[in-house]
Structure 1
């Protein structure tokens, strides 16, 4: 097991709930699965965590890798439980069910907890075989994942360095674009959101990272916080670029947003940006151990509301202004705990890696968002982002 990681809260949860272990049945794409097993497999496999040991059940195809790579004390394969004989007698599905039951029986697991994404069919079958399966509605593993070790923080830092290279590549395209009759041209072709995304993705690949999608949204598109953006980018209009890559080797994410204008922003857009920069700074002023996510979010809302802009705190029905939370945790998932939002009343701890991303949105103006990623420390925070906050691209 990873000696840096603290599984004390998970152990206490299992003891207090009277559970024999924590059971997962998923591929490594499920962050909890990868976190507990340390094994990166594309297909479903089984992890049983107990305070005494972590045991894996994998196919014969993955057995060698799991034995060498997994963060586990014991690795079992289906063949260890006479899988092929069971297939001949009962068929593959029933054989797989019987193997899982035998695996749990070997380790004395008759009462297990699991996360809320555990397969319903597998849970039903285990219950029919006398194994109690209970959903962990408190997300104990998610809470453990939220407090990052030094190694995990370095993984995020590495992903963020790649992110910054990609953001620089995107900004360079805007800087090098020519303005011809109010249109942005790059090497005589219209500069589009699609072209900028391509540059971002290629740059990330060269730095060992990947992403499924990113945001390059201009003008009214940018007024919708999760609009991915499309088509030509326009002069004098805000362009929101939000990049959230995953490092391939570690599987940890980063997250960063900048908003750029090529040309001259409108007075309203400039005001959006200036107020958002003040909100951004206020959030960092409030970020420290012992503060809550709600405290940080409130600091941002105060700046916006004092400047006359609506927030969801002042108007829960507003569709303009500050219409999302201040931030979220980042790690194996790009969105995980802790939350920086209204109602997030748990204290922030050293090791929490979070985004700070205030923004203002109005289709008549466009959208503006600024986002850094930071880690809470014993005496405050460390901003893991080293990229300038600038609005106008020269």
Structure 2
């Protein structure tokens, strides 16, 4: 199905709104693009262009703006310049953190499309936009549309793919404002986790199944209540994990069906603030009743690995160093990790953490490939143990790397027995 806005793209310089626009506050991020500009200067390239919609986090970060259809952000030595449709022009002028905003009609976009078709018409418009900003050679991100790059080259513009992901690297170090937004998302996350925990804690037990209001308490019911709580806090989520028993032994199994007593229940919530776009992430594992001696031992080992990994976090160490600390604890307790057995299907079968920001998984990595941690990095610490015969355990906090340690953005108790407090 073609959307109304797609149908209107040829004439998108009209002022008619196809649907109410989503307004976002200015991103208030002091974006430091010096490393990108140093790259451009070293490579003798005039500018850097992102061609994507607002779901692309690099686009949102550099432009300070979001739109449901692709728009172009051009970074030069002199500034940041946006090219948008007439539909988005007023909002971009008001909201974007750019030095200039130009609408497509400035380049007779409709006539270019009429004369050359939508593909070549767009490329001719972009070449003219670049020329207006003194750009004859262009660097683009790895995600830049291949067809557009080829079309620009056909129009005589030199296009080079920037291979290192410089913008993602810039985004990894969060400003104070960004840290505040992530912490606000985590506060909403804590409210959602409390909702889930209370449902599990207050359920009756009938024939080994948790029951709430006379009905089996299902993974789906808990996830619905999590989502409702988050919406009331201004956050949303595409999905979440409430996985019981063997389901919880698969780290990304979302879970389904009735929750059972005497089983481990993994609850992993990763919401995004609907206005700022910043994610949060937290996991807790609960058991209503007695999951057994082995499950309890696995919980304590996971907790010890989580605490040791947290204590290892500080600027200057690598994500690999922190991951090794978690692996040490788990291997010393007699369980496999992917470090001790790369083919392991049970035990600790993932990395210790990842960066969180405008993407739920972003740089840096806390894993065997993890590089140096820097002040301002926001990362998860989330070791786990998994076996279908026992269930899954994972404990996860969200922290900011500091010069001599970390600041924990998570304020939520760690405990296996659920409470309604």
1:356 matched to 2:356: no
User: Are the equivalent residues in 1 in contact too, given 2:29–2:177 (CA < 8 A)?
Assistant: no
Name the count of aligned residue pairs: 393
Q: Which residue of 1 aligns with 2:11?
A: none
1:373 matched to 2:401: no
1:347 matched to 2:372: yes
Q: Which residue of 2 aligns with 1:124?
A: 150
1:292 matched to 2:322: no
Q: Which residue of 2 aligns with 1:91?
A: 117
1 CA distance for matches of 2:198 and 2:157?
A: 58
Encode CA deviations 1:231-287: one digit per residue, 9 max, x unaligned.
011101011010000001110000000000011121111011000000000101100
Match for residue 50 of structure 2 among 9, 24, 45: 24
Matches for 1:298-313 after TM superposition, within 5 Å: 298-313=324-339
User: Are the equivalent residues in 1 in contact too, given 2:189–2:281 (CA < 8 A)?
Assistant: yes
Secondary structure of residue in 1 paired with 2:268: strand
Structure 2: 5+ residue runs without aligned partners? 1-26
Encode CA deviations 1:183-222: one digit per residue, 9 max, x unaligned.
1100000000000000010000000000000111110010
Secondary structure of residue in 2 paired with 1:258: strand
CA shift at 1:360, angstroms?
0.2
1:243 matched to 2:269: yes
Q: How big is the alpha-carbon RMSD for the aligned residues of Structure 1 and Structure 2? A: 1.2
Secondary structure of residue in 1 paired with 2:412: coil
Q: Which residue of 2 aligns with 1:134?
A: 160
Encode CA deviations 1:52-96: one digit per residue, 9 max, x unaligned.
110011001000000110110011111001122323333333322
CA shift at 1:131, angstroms?
1.6
2 CA distance for matches of 1:93 and 1:278?
A: 57
User: Are the equivalent residues in 1 in contact too, given 2:28–2:177 (CA < 8 A)?
Assistant: no
2 CA distance for matches of 1:48 and 1:312?
A: 42
User: Are the equivalent residues in 2 in contact too, given 1:57–1:75 (CA < 8 A)?
Assistant: yes
2 CA distance for matches of 1:112 and 1:93?
A: 19
Moved more, 109-118 or 210-219: 109-118
Moved more, 108-117 or 351-360: 108-117
Matches for 1:227-238 after TM superposition, within 5 Å: 227-238=253-264
2 CA distance for matches of 1:319 and 1:134?
A: 41
Q: Which residue of 1 aligns with 2:19?
A: none
Matches for 1:152-231 after TM superposition, within 5 Å: 152-231=178-257
Structure 1: 5+ residue runs without aligned partners? none
Q: Which residue of 2 aligns with 1:48?
A: 74
2 CA distance for matches of 1:92 and 1:166?
A: 46
2 CA distance for matches of 1:143 and 1:91?
A: 37
2 CA distance for matches of 1:277 and 1:209?
A: 28
Secondary structure of residue in 1 paired with 2:72: strand
User: Are the equivalent residues in 2 in contact too, given 1:280–1:356 (CA < 8 A)?
Assistant: yes
1:390 matched to 2:415: yes
Query: TM-score by structure 2 length?
Result: 0.91
1 CA distance for matches of 2:120 and 2:34?
A: 36
1 CA distance for matches of 2:227 and 2:281?
A: 14
2 CA distance for matches of 1:88 and 1:357?
A: 54
Query: TM-score by structure 1 length?
Result: 0.98
User: Are the equivalent residues in 1 in contact too, given 2:29–2:178 (CA < 8 A)?
Assistant: no
CA shift at 1:2, angstroms?
5.5
